[in-house]
Amino acid sequence: MTDPTAIQPSELDQLPDRDPEETAEWQASLDAVTKAAGPHRAAYLMRRTLERAEGNGLALPKLLETDYVNTIPTSAEPVVDGDEEMERKITAWNRWNAAAMVTRGSKYGVGGHIATFASAAWLYETGFNHFFKGKEADGSGDQLYIQGHASPGIYARAFLDGRLSEQHLDRFRQESGGNGLPSYPHPRRLPWLWEFPTVSMGLGPLSAIYQARFNRYLTNRGIKDVSQSHVWAFLGDGEMDEPESTAALALASREGLDNLTFVINCNLQRLDGPVRANFKIVQELEAQFRGAGWNVVKTLWGTAWDELFRLDTTGALVRRLRQVPDAQVQTYQTRDAAYIRQDFFGSDPALVEMAKLLSDDKILECFHLSRGGHEARKVYAAYRAALAHKGAPTVILAQTVKGHTLGEGFASKNANHQMKKLTVDEFKKMRDVLELPISDSQFIDGQVPYGHPGADAPEVRYLQDRRAALGGPAPARRTHALAPLPAAPDKAFASFDKGSGSQNVATTMAFVRLVKDLVRDKETGRRWVPIVPDEARTFGMESLFPSLGIYSPKGQTYEPVDRDQLMYYKEAKDGQILNEGITEAGSMADFIAASTAYSTHGEAMIPFYIFYSMFGWQRTADQMWQLGDQLGRGFLVGATAGRTTLTGEGLQHADGHSPVIAATNPAALSYDPAFAYEIATIVKDGLRRMYGEAAPGEDQNVFYYLTVYNEPMPQPAKPAGLGIDEGILKGLYRFNTAESAGLSPVANAARIQLIGSGTAIHWTLKAQQLLAEEWGVAADVWSATSWTELRRDALEADAALLRGEERVPFVRQALHGAEGPVLAVSDYMRQVPDQIAQWVEQDYSSLGADGFGLSDTREAARRHFGVDAESIVVAALAQLARRGEVKASAVKEARERYGL
């Protein structure tokens, strides 16, 4: 067994040493320093030597972790461009009102969070006062991803600058009556203020990276120059445990996104306790971000610590700070000076001597109050450094105390995330700490008052002047008065009405062909944003590579291996396709950024994201909810859809339930089209609704989910007659009758209505033929393009009836007068077609692919799930037999004939 303490071979052992004697001298020098001055001095010299080497351009591995001190020393901090005392007063008002709002709301039991903003106040206030560009300046302003639990502080600032009233604050988390404030950043609930929903942990940082990347995409493609926009993402140190938080760090570094800054509030606490009780989260994050290629700025200690660092002539203080685990730092926050002297300083003789020079007040000031994240100068210096750094994104690790200024009952307590209010006495102590002019008489009937210095007060004028200089209020969301995009030529859609003749075409291929035609349109073609997670060839999209190009900020720095082929792999700085590699989460973040560009940048973009249907809603449904909250628009396309169409791939690839999940999202219009002309009709109407002339009462802020299949099948011509397009868009229309299909059942034959969706329509059509030819049963076939839209329409009709309005659900209108029972068939679980069951007047039954998927041929899989044509025939006969319309023996005979 290898001795872990022994010196292990390294890559240097494989390199020839051209001067072993010189190498030995360097090693001897290091040994001598270690022996004479100690290992810490030797380590210090090595670090400085490596820094010099890096500064001289020598290719050496980067140091992933530095000492537990500020990156920017006090002596190097820039002068703050503003009135620090005035900003202190503004921040005090905002701290007060944030706590007051949550406390006043607690009497209604609606909850809220106080401690997060209390710790992060200066991280936000410094940005608002000096850095965050508003939407009213040139360009698009900055994009701010606000930490969800800090929302009370943002509302408090909006109250101070006159954008919110006391009545608004008093309706925090009480939205149903109007004029309420949502709990967290929810653009759909407060669309003039919030731009990005962030409270679903991990999605904020992931989206921020792809937003910064999409900003570069817009600039490089010549859509809009947004090079002056900066993305700021405010995160919690506990949030960084989410895999999504760090999933795209390498992308941000690889593409040099210096238009992006993460600000991580390191208050060392999760919801239940320390983030890294026995370790140090700041050091862990520093190593993680440095290793990913980010610029790291640590802002840990306030100016009170300067005296301690000056006294640290041996490095003992720095060593001790590096040793103490986070949970112990949290404990120091709550203990007296005697405890800190013994536990922190008593561990090293040099520190014992240092502590003798420090008063108890000084020790308490340092360990209880003085953190880098609580001082405007420290935060200002960090932000300036972030904006000055070029070639890589920056992360600022700002240490704070959770519950700062809220009193001893809050600060650094494990339970403070769940503590929703302060007592009157605690508020009075807070008032004194913040030096606010609020009298005891303003506490009426035990109710804490809101505080405001007056609309013309110096604090308010200063705040508003600072925001005016930076381009207007922030955060803010804008809905631009964009002209509707021109409609694409009808011929792009009409060509699908003719069908494919004798050629078999998968609906996936039909969709891709449609997109190829649409992106060629001179008016709107450049606004399409094709997004694919490394499966473009699976979906037949490789022909788009040379014509549209794959986006890369570096262009193509190599000669592609397939350069001599027609459909070669072409990357370009102005490429249109976002080929993200194997990351559905990253692709969804792309989609969200593109789908909301109409608001963020005033540019309507048309994203379509095509993916294995199984790896869409099941894997990234949380982001699709985020997309709905952010009011995104575009087309999600679940390819290789269905449980039985993807031959051989097996259980984890066989999607039988994505429409069920999609149905839970109110912003998703979910369609399962069977034929190419249905796809064309749906896409055409989607472009009209989301980007063109929406009808009165239509919500434009929706997105479409289309399932398409990889099974090549005949694509019929679009049926003639009125109401076909309406049926396609509303979810149901009659494709044919037994008679129009050329089938001649016997006179007075039993009749049944067969409804199929997606690829199941083809088995249904075969069953129609078998029923007529072998059993003398007449079957009409219907195409259900959207079970979900049918259900939503029916639910709206039910609600209208309760209001005294007469309204009949569309599904009932469509099926009115249809003879016989109804049998619905889907390649998804039965729960999908059963969404409409209660509104169908006829006897209703369904077939679907319930259970886990499996590897086999399509035919075998369909027989296994009982959804093939023969199984449909047996189910139809059984339904008719129960009604006495066919002999009961026919069911048994059919089972035996078909081997079921």
Which of 236, 788, 709, 743 has its CA nearest to residue 504? 709
List the beta bridge partners of residue 669. 704
Task: Give mean pLDDT, residues 145-163.
Answer: 96
Across 397-426, b (16+ Cβ under 10 Å) vs e yields bbbbbbbbbbbeebbbbeebbebbbbeeeb
**Cα 48 from Cα 245, distance rounded (Å):** 32
Q: How confident is the model at residue 6 (pLDDT cuts 50, 70, 90)?
A: very low
Cβ atoms 397, 300 nearer than 8 A: yes
The pLDDT of residue 46 = 86
The pLDDT of residue 271 = 77
**Cα 674 from Cα 713, distance rounded (Å):** 10
**Cα 608 from Cα 587, distance rounded (Å):** 10
562 pLDDT higher than 50: yes
The encoded tokens of residue 622 equal 């949380």
What count of other Cβ atoms lies within 10 Å of the Cβ of residue 721? 9
**Cα 38 from Cα 47, distance rounded (Å):** 15
**Cα 53 from Cα 857, distance rounded (Å):** 62
Task: Give mean pLDDT, residues 757-766.
Answer: 97
The pLDDT of residue 650 = 86
Flag the least confident range among 268-272, 508-512, 521-525, 702-706: 268-272
The pLDDT of residue 28 = 92
Cβ atoms 498, 544 nearer than 8 A: no
577 pLDDT higher than 50: yes
The pLDDT of residue 392 = 98
27 is in an annotated binding site: no
Which ranges of 705-828 would DSSP assign to H, the alpha helix? 724-730, 760-775, 787-802, 810-815
Lateral strand order in the sheet of 260-266:
143-145, 231-236, 260-266, 394-399, 295-299
270 pLDDT higher than 90: no
The pLDDT of residue 4 = 38
Cβ atoms 873, 853 nearer than 8 A: no
Q: If phi over 0 gives left and psi between -120 and 50 gives alpha, with beta otherwise, what is residue 114?
A: alpha
13 pLDDT higher than 70: no
The pLDDT of residue 9 = 43
Interstrand relation of 143-145 and 231-236 (parallel, antiparallel or unpaired) = parallel
5 pLDDT higher than 50: no
Better-predicted residue by pLDDT, 298 or 652: 298
pLDDT tens figures, 159-202: 999 999 999 999 999 999 888 999 999 999 999 999 999 999 99
The encoded tokens of residue 748 equal 């007075």
**Tokens 């698009």 — which residue?**
140
Q: How confident is the model at residue 14 (pLDDT cuts 50, 70, 90)?
A: very low
Helices 115-130 and 376-388 meet at what angle, rounded to 10?
Answer: 60
Helix (H, G, I), strand (E, B), or coil: what is residue 553?
coil
pLDDT tens figures, 407-441: 776 665 555 455 667 899 999 999 999 999 999 99
Burial class (CB in 10 A: 0-12, 13-18, 19+), 618: middle
DSSP conformational letter for 457 = S
Interstrand relation of 504-505 and 713-714 (parallel, antiparallel or unpaired) = antiparallel
57 pLDDT higher than 70: yes
526 pLDDT higher than 80: yes
The encoded tokens of residue 526 equal 């450049």
12 pLDDT higher than 80: no
The pLDDT of residue 411 = 62
DSSP conformational letter for 365 = I
The pLDDT of residue 414 = 56
Task: Give mean pLDDT, residues 437-455.
Answer: 95
Which helix or strand (DSSP H or E) is residue 735 part of? strand 733-736
pLDDT tens figures, 111-123: 788 889 999 999 9
267 is in an annotated binding site: yes
Across 242-261, b (16+ Cβ under 10 Å) vs e yields bebbbbbbebbbebbbbbbb
269 is in an annotated binding site: yes
Flag the least confident range among 144-153, 253-262, 270-279: 270-279
The pLDDT of residue 179 = 85
What count of other Cβ atoms lies within 10 Å of the Cβ of residue 800? 14
900 pLDDT higher than 50: yes
Task: Give mean pLDDT, residues 262-286.
Answer: 93
List the beta bridge partners of residue 531. 578, 609
Task: Give mean pLDDT, residues 772-786.
Answer: 96
Better-predicted residue by pLDDT, 420 or 239: 239
Which of 395, 281, 276 has its CA nearest to residue 327? 276
Which of 354, 374, 277 has its CA nearest to residue 314? 354
**Cα 311 from Cα 293, distance rounded (Å):** 34
Q: How confident is the model at residue 675 (pLDDT cuts 50, 70, 90)?
A: very high
The encoded tokens of residue 104 equal 């006043």
Cβ atoms 713, 504 nearer than 8 A: yes
Cα end-to-end span (Å), the chain? 61
The pLDDT of residue 534 = 84
pLDDT tens figures, 827-842: 999 999 999 999 999 9
pLDDT tens figures, 331-386: 998 899 999 999 999 999 999 999 999 999 999 999 999 999 999 999 999 999 99
